[in-house]
Structure 1
Amino acid sequence: MDGFVATYINRLDAKGRVSVPAAFRAVLAREGQEGLYCYPALDLPAIDAGGVRLQEAIADQLSDFETFSEDYETLSTAFYADSRVLKIDQDGRVMLPEEFREVTGIGDAALFAGQGLKFQIWEESRFRERQKAAREHLRSLKGSLGRKSRPARGTEEAR
């Protein structure tokens, strides 16, 4: 798998910089991404981040909506107007903007959680709460996880 996997915790320095995990930087480099594309998660106190594949997935998602529809306008604002491309310095660090730190509650450390196509940046205790809730939810769904109830992504039936 050539995606973002695992969880890492890195400390912010006095200037608000944090090291992007080396494994994540390697994925970004393979995608040809020079910076870190990120935006506040739509419904969580986290930052969604990634590279070219994330940007392509967003464009694909938006293509399902009429260009000037309310849904398109709302999503494009969330994905583009609130986004930033953070420069990764020669030491593998990015400067976390203050507005991102406020959204997440990040203080002196940031947790990077891989999600395959993208990763999220969290304050650790908030992530641990989310992780616990996600596992409980998955336990409740376990019996139905093996069923194919919808067409594969990219097929006409899925659109």
Structure 2
Amino acid sequence: MNSLIGTYECKADAKGRLMLPAALKKQLSPVLQNGFVLKRAVFQPCLELYPMEEWEVLMQKVNKLNRFKKKNNDFIRRFTAGVKMIEVDASGRLLIPKDLTVFASISKNVVVSSAINIVEIWDKDKYEQAIDDAADDFADLAEEVMGQDEEDNGIS
């Protein structure tokens, strides 16, 4: 799958249904029929929507962990906590389960943001706060992550 592009504002209804923005739905159209996995993010109070093929690639990596090491089992348990299979209905909506809505503090105003090969789903206020919090440090972060020589950072 190609990289996804875009950040979109949308609304969730009282039942937790979210209409995928048309531009994002179009980008996801090749994988819509395969379904998605929705999970809690590791580092932020948001949700991550994985196309099924991306989820399977990630699970192949996780499955290589030695389960006879406690930290690996603890990681797997926490990483997969609250994981749900999700389908987009004929109207282009997805239903965010209540436990995940609570985790991400999603109410009405939502930001759906591409993150290369997955989609992040945020409460709008929390998204704006996360962007603001990172603004001061972003130049240093960009230099640290992307400013290295290609041989040093594994990016080619």
Q: Write out the 4+ residue segments of structure 1 that deviate beyond 6 Å after TM superposition.
A: none
In the TM superposition, residue 114 of structure 1 has moved relative to its aligned partner by: 0.8
Q: Which residue of 2 aligns with 1:19?
A: 19
Is residue 75 of structure 2 the alignment partner of residue 75 of structure 1? yes
Provide the rounded CA distance (Å) in 1 between the counterparts of 2:33 and 2:152.
32
Provide the rounded CA distance (Å) in 1 between the counterparts of 2:44 and 2:15.
25
Alpha carbons of 1:104 and 1:143: their partners in 2 closer, same or farther (altered >3 Å)? closer
- The answer on whether the counterparts of 1:36 and 1:87 sit within 8 Å (CA) in structure 2 is yes
Percent of aligned pairs with the same residue? Answer: 20
Q: Which residue of 2 aligns with 1:140?
A: 140
Q: Which residue of 1 aligns with 2:61?
A: 61
Provide the rounded CA distance (Å) in 2 between the counterparts of 1:20 and 1:46.
16
C-alpha offsets along residues 1-56 of structure 1, whole Å, 9 cap, x if unaligned? 82222111111224321112233333443236532311111131100112134313
Give me the CA root mean square deviation.
Answer: 2.6
Q: Which residue of 2 aligns with 1:156?
A: none
Provide the rounded CA distance (Å) in 1 between the counterparts of 2:14 and 2:142.
44
Provide the rounded CA distance (Å) in 2 between the counterparts of 1:110 and 1:78.
25
Alpha carbons of 1:34 and 1:64: their partners in 2 closer, same or farther (altered >3 Å)? closer
- The answer on whether the counterparts of 1:33 and 1:52 sit within 8 Å (CA) in structure 2 is no
Q: The residue matched to 2:80 in structure 1 has which SS?
A: helix
- The count of corresponding residues between Structure 1 and Structure 2 is 154
Alpha carbons of 1:59 and 1:85: their partners in 2 closer, same or farther (altered >3 Å)? same
Matches within 5 A, 1:1-159: 2-31=2-31, 33-144=33-144, 145-148=146-149, 150=152, 152=154
Q: The residue matched to 1:150 in structure 2 has which SS?
A: helix
In structure 2, the gaps of 5 or more residues are none
Relative to structure 2, which stretch is displaced further, 131-140 or 111-120?
131-140
- The TM-score, its normalising length taken from structure 1, stands at 0.80
Alpha carbons of 1:83 and 1:33: their partners in 2 closer, same or farther (altered >3 Å)? farther
In structure 1, the gaps of 5 or more residues are 154-159
Provide the rounded CA distance (Å) in 1 between the counterparts of 2:12 and 2:141.
37
In the TM superposition, residue 59 of structure 1 has moved relative to its aligned partner by: 1.9
State the AA in 1 paired with 2:152: R
Alpha carbons of 1:90 and 1:142: their partners in 2 closer, same or farther (altered >3 Å)? closer
Provide the rounded CA distance (Å) in 2 between the counterparts of 1:69 and 1:26.
42
